[in-house]
């Protein structure tokens, strides 16, 4: 099976090298990505601000049963509190059942 994977990868490498007009296909090497950090940046205050602004008013609340109007009315306090549980879940790498 491993030999088959190498064969498939070699064909894809050849295909994209030709497609992208890369010279010297022998110089293209397989690389592995090893990261200790997530590839997605963390949640910023700006992200929270933009998400709150995009909430639509006068709609039924989601599963959390918190209306958009209440979140928007929360002002600075809610904008600072919302990221805390999100960052905690992100760092743990776990999602709740709901």
Task: Indicate whether 1 belongs to any domain.
Answer: yes
Cα distance between residue 29 and residue 25, in whole Å:
9
Task: Indicate whether 70 belongs to any domain.
Answer: yes
pTM of the complete model beyond 0.75: no
What average pLDDT score do residues 53-73 get?
A: 89
- Mark whether 55 and 20 lie in a shared domain: no
More confident residue, 29 or 85: 85
Residue 69 has a pLDDT of: 92
Total structural domains within the chain: 2
Residue 11 has a pLDDT of: 81
Token pair of 81, please?
């509190």
Cα distance between residue 74 and residue 93, in whole Å:
28
Contacting residues for 68 by C-beta, under 8 A, at least 6 apart: 55, 56, 57, 59, 61
More confident residue, 98 or 88: 88
Domain range enclosing 54: 45-92
What average pLDDT score do residues 80-94 get?
A: 81
- Mark whether 2 and 25 lie in a shared domain: yes
């Amino acid at each position: 099976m491993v030999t088959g994977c190498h064969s498939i990868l070699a064909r894809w490498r050849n295909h994209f090298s030709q497609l992208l007009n890369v010279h010297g296909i022998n110089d293209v090497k397989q690389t592995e990505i090893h990261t200790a950090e997530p590839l997605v940046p963390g949640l910023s205050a700006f992200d929270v601000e933009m998400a709150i602004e995009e909430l639509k008013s006068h709609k039924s609340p989601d599963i959390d049963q918190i209306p958009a109007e209440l979140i928007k009315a929360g002002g600075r306090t809610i904008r600072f509190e919302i990221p805390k549980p999100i960052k905690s879940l992100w760092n743990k790498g776990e999602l709740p059942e709901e």
